[in-house]
Structure formats: C-alpha cells, structure tokens
Structure 1
Amino acid sequence: MDIPVAANILGTTGAVCWSVQLLPQIFINYRRHNTEGLQASMMLLWAVAGVPLGVYNIVEELNVALRVQAQILTFLSLVTWAQCLYYGKKYSVNKCITAVISLLLLLGGIETALIFALRVAKQRDLQWPMILMAVLSASFLAAGVLRHYWDIYTHRTVRGISFIFVAIDAAGDLFSLVSVVFESRIDVLGMVIYGTELALWIGVFICGLVFNFLPWITERARKEPEAGEREVALHEMPSSTSVFRTASGSDVVMRRPQQQL
C-alpha cells in the first residue's frame, strides 16, 4: 500500500514527539526525587494502551512511524511508572527494574500474539477485532489522563505533572491525528484514538490555566502594590529611626538607671 509522503512526515513528527514526551517528566522526577501528584496508575494504563495501539497500527499497516510510536509509549510509560514505585513507594532499584522487564516481556508477548491473530482475522474480513483494539487503546489512554483529572478535582490544582510533557504529548497526538487524515484512506478509528487523548490534554491545559496560572497572576499583582508601599514607607522614615540608631538608642535607655544608681 502506498503511503502518502505527507502521512509519513506527519507520522514521523508525531512519533518523535511521543519519543521524547515523557523525558521532561522523567527528568523532573529524577531532579526533585519525588513523584507526588503524578499518578502511577496513569503510567501503567498508558503502558497497557501501547499494546492494542501497536497491534492496530501494525495490522492496519499505518506508516512506520506510528507503528514504532506505540512501542516507545509503552517503554517510557513503564520507566515513569518505575519512578513512581521508587520515589513514591520506596521500592528498591532491583525491584523496579525487575517489574519493568517483566511487564515489557509480558506486554510484548501479548502484542506479538495479537498481531498474528488479528492478521488472520483481517484476511477473513472480520472487522470487530480491529474495532476492539481501537476501543481498548483509546479507553486506556483516556482512562490514564482521566485519573489525573480526579487528582485535579480533589486538590483543585494541576500538580506533579510537567506541562512541557503535556505540550509535547498533545503535539504528538495532533501530528499523529493529521497523519491518519493524510493516509490513502481515512481511518476513523485511528482518528478517534489520537483525537480523544488530544481533547483530554487540552482540558488539562485549561485546568492549569484556571487553577495554577490565573491564581499566580492574581497573587503577583496583589503583592506588587504591597511591595511598592513598603518601599515608599521605608524612604519616608527619618534617618534617626533606622534599625541601627534604634538599637543604640535602646542602649542609652538601658544605661540611665545604672547611672542613677
């Protein structure tokens, strides 16, 4: 099947975004030695979502970038999940590595088996298995982000998640979505997979604007006049009331009773 050049370029751009999307989050977790607010369940759901997403992209013979994209999603999600175990639950490094490798082998085996099975189903013109893969991948991706929505609702703030990561991931979804549109045939299910997550990330941006950015602007605007008033008051104070002169003046007051004695 001929893949249009535009689909390959856009798909590759989306894959690059998804290749580095979690790197800012991983770096922030490592730098602060903390994953508070980052949902481990979200990362695990994303790792699982990479399986039906990879199966769908490979069996449907979408561009190569989208096929690789799903594998990168699973790997980086498991690395971030391991950080949640290490920093949050205080697991040892060996336990985290063992958990990641075990899940990679398990998920990789399941994906390989499903690819062979669904290729046979596709040859027999069975459509429901591919629809199921699309629904599962979209559901797992959405459930992962929605898990963070619950944290936002509970704490009334967007915490523990890097907005750089969110921006790169949303860009990856956007480029992947457009690349599906440029395929030789429009894949509606593929558009649903990437469009769902893109919409949820836009919602996270809006929550960040409402709960994080606007209060920060308001607080900063309130503090600036107060700082200006303190500066004016300090300049208007006479030199005799400076901190140093007040201290020496108190010494004089303390010495007077001694002189009378």
Structure 2
Amino acid sequence: MAIQQDVPLAAQVLATIGTICWCVQLLPQIWQNYRRGNCIAFPALTVFIWAISEVPFGAYVIVQDHAMAIQLQPQIFGVLCLVCWGQCLWLSGKCSKLWATFWPFLLAAVMAVGQFLLIWTLRVGYPGRTMPIKVVWAFAAAGLVVGLIPQYVQQFKRQGRNLGFSWGFLAVDLAGALFSFLAMAVRKQFDVFGGTLYLIV
C-alpha cells in the first residue's frame, strides 16, 4: 500500500468528473426533502453515519496522496451529508431550525479536528507503516456500509418500495463512485483498498 505519486492526466480528469458528481449528488435529495416538507422514509441516521465515515475516508485518501479531486470528495460529501442531516432534524420536528443548523456546524468542527489529528497521527506517528492505514480504511468502509442499514430497514418496512431516496441522488452517486473508481484504476499502481471503498458505494 505505497503512497500514490505521479498522478496521470487521465486519473486527474476522471477524479475531477467523479468529484463534480459528488459535489452535487445530495442536492436532488435535499431538494426533494424540502419540496415534500418531510424526510419520511429517508433516515437521518443514514446521512449521519455517512458524514462520520468521511473522517477516516478523507484521512485515507489524503495520506495515500491521491489526486486532489479525490481528496476533496470526502470533505464535500461529508458537508452535504451534514446539511441533509440538519434538514432531517428540522423537517422531522426533532429540532427547531436554529438547533438543526447548530448541530451540523458543531459536528463539522469536531470532524475537521478529528480528521486533522488522524492525518497527523498517520503521517508522523506511523510513517511508512501500512497497518494503521488499513485500519483507517476499514473504519471508512464500515461506515459506508453501516450507513445503508437504516435505509434497508425502512425499505423492508415498506415491502421494498423506495419512498425516501431521490433517484437523482442515487444516479449521480453511482456516477461519482464509478468515475472515481476508474481514476484509481488508470493509476500506475492500483489502490485496492481505495478502489474497494468506491465499489462499496
């Protein structure tokens, strides 16, 4: 699991397309929730877990020195997840608009500090060692998978009908993951762990 260097142009282009997709992927979901005036069948827990999982995911791609666009993806996705989480808190009536804004901002600050400390620990405390990076990857992968469980529970309760997720969100999310995976695939050295994160998505 060597640190990635000399990113080819094709990887940069594919990573940029993937990042553009991930910059807007949750916007259709946020719009759908707002238009409906509720987040019924769209679990707040899903986007909360996804937001938290972006801390190790972001640390992993930064420490592995992937293309800058790939490094930005977890940060942008995490912010969008926090926006969606705050929206779910507000529209579900669990919080006032003020508190539904405050909690995501507070969590974003905690996540930023956590990611900084994680990156610093991996670079300074464990330079050149792969096991700590694999552990960080495992937490990121687990968060992405566990975040899906509340949505599957909702679908099970509704006999498999998707009442909460925007199809636009799902399509753009899939495109972002595909282009990002391809960006890793065209590298001279394929990052199996990073590629697997995108396959999980």
Which TM bucket (shorter chain)?
Answer: over 0.9
Aligned residue for 1:112? 116
Alignment partners' CA distance in 2, 1:121 and 1:182: 31
Distance 2:56 2:188 in 1: 22
SS at match of 2:173: helix
Give unpaired runs (5+ residues) of structure 2. none
1:137 counterpart SS class: helix
**Which amino acid is the alignment partner of residue 135 of structure 2?**
L
Code of the residue aligned with 2:153 in structure 1: it is W
Q: Residue 83 in 1 paired to residue 87 in 2?
A: yes
Number of aligned residue pairs: give it.
196
Among 97, 114, 118, which residue is 2:101 paired with?
A: 97
Higher relative contact order (CA 8 A, sep 6+): 2
Task: Compute the RMSD of aligned alpha carbons.
Answer: 1.1
Structure 1 unaligned blocks of 5 or more? 198-261
1:38 aligns with 2:42: yes
Between structure 1 and structure 2, the one with the greater Rg is 1
The structure whose residues are more often helix, as a share, is 1
Could you tell me how far apart the structure 1 residues matched to 2:93 and 2:66 are? 39
CA distance in 1, matches of 2:68, 2:58: 11
Q: Distance in 2 between matches of 1:16 and 1:145?
A: 23
Asked if 1:70 is matched to 2:74, the reply is yes
Q: What's 1:153 paired with? A: 156
Report how far residue 49 of structure 1 moved: 1.1
Q: Is the Cα–Cα contact under 8 Å of residues 48 and 107 in structure 1 kept in the other structure? A: yes
Q: Distance in 2 between matches of 1:34 and 1:13?
A: 31
Indicate the SS of the match to 2:42.
Answer: coil
Structure 1 residues 129, 178: CA separation in 2 closer, same or farther (over 3 Å shift)? same
Query: SS where residue 34 of structure 1 aligns?
Result: coil
CA contact (8 A) 1:121 1:129 kept: no
In the TM superposition, what is the alpha-carbon distance from 1:94 to its structure 2 partner?
Answer: 1.0
1:143 to 138, 143, 146: 146
Q: CA deviation at 1:122?
A: 4.5
Which 4+ residue blocks in structure 1 deviate beyond 4 angstroms?
none
* Residue 162 of structure 2 is aligned to residue 182 of structure 1: no
Equivalent position SS for 2:189: coil
- Paired residue for 1:254? none
Which structure 2 residues correspond to residues 186-225 of structure 1 after superposition, within 5 A? Answer: 186-197=190-201
Percent identity of equivalent pairs: 35
What is the CA–CA distance in structure 2 between the aligned matches of 1:28 and 1:36, rounded to whole Å? Answer: 11
Counterpart CA distance in 2 for 1:173 and 1:146 is 19
Paired residue type of 2:198: Y
TM-score (norm 2): 0.94
TM-score w.r.t. the length of structure 1 is 0.73
